[in-house]
């Protein structure tokens, strides 16, 4: 299976590459800044911390504790919103 090539102009001239819009440029720059922030945040939070569970305790890197807490919050929010939509 081969990909179809877009039709080329008949006169053999190349079309100029399309420029990115300002909106795309801002979105890409913001995504890069957020990506760098996440990497720096993770590197700064590699220390082991004591985690106390209901039945025991253990040690884990702080970034893992933060990520697990974030994921738990996302899941709980998703189910809470889903439940409130069902009631309507």
pLDDT digits (tens, 9 = 90+) for 1-31: 556 666 665 655 666 677 778 888 999 999 9
Q: Is residue 56 part of a domain?
A: yes
Place of tokens 């919103």: 81
The whole-number pLDDT of residue 85 equals: 80
Q: What confidence tens digit (pLDDT) does each residue in 26-82 have?
A: 999 999 999 899 889 888 888 999 998 888 899 999 989 888 998 999 999 999 988
Q: Which residue has the higher pLDDT, 2 or 84?
A: 84
Q: Is residue 7 part of a domain?
A: no
Q: Is residue 81 part of a domain?
A: yes
User: What residue numbers bound the domain in which 29 lies?
Assistant: 22-87
Q: Is residue 15 part of a domain?
A: no
Phi-psi region of 52 (alpha: psi -120 to 50; beta: other; left: phi over 0): beta
Q: Is residue 65 part of a domain?
A: yes
* 24 CA to centre of own chain: 17
The whole-number pLDDT of residue 36 equals: 93
Q: Is residue 59 part of a domain?
A: yes
Q: Is residue 16 part of a domain?
A: no
Q: Is residue 3 part of a domain?
A: no
Q: How many domains does the chain have?
A: 1
């Amino acid at each position: 299976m081969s990909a179809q090539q877009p039709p080329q102009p008949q006169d053999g001239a190349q079309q100029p590459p399309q420029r990115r819009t300002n909106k795309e440029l801002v979105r890409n720059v913001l995504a890069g800044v957020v990506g760098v922030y996440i990497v720096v945040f993770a590197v700064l939070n590699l220390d082991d911390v004591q985690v106390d569970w209901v039945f025991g305790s253990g040690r884990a890197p702080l970034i893992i504790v933060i990520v697990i807490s974030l994921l738990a919050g996302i899941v709980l929010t998703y189910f809470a919103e889903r439940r409130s939509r069902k009631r309507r």
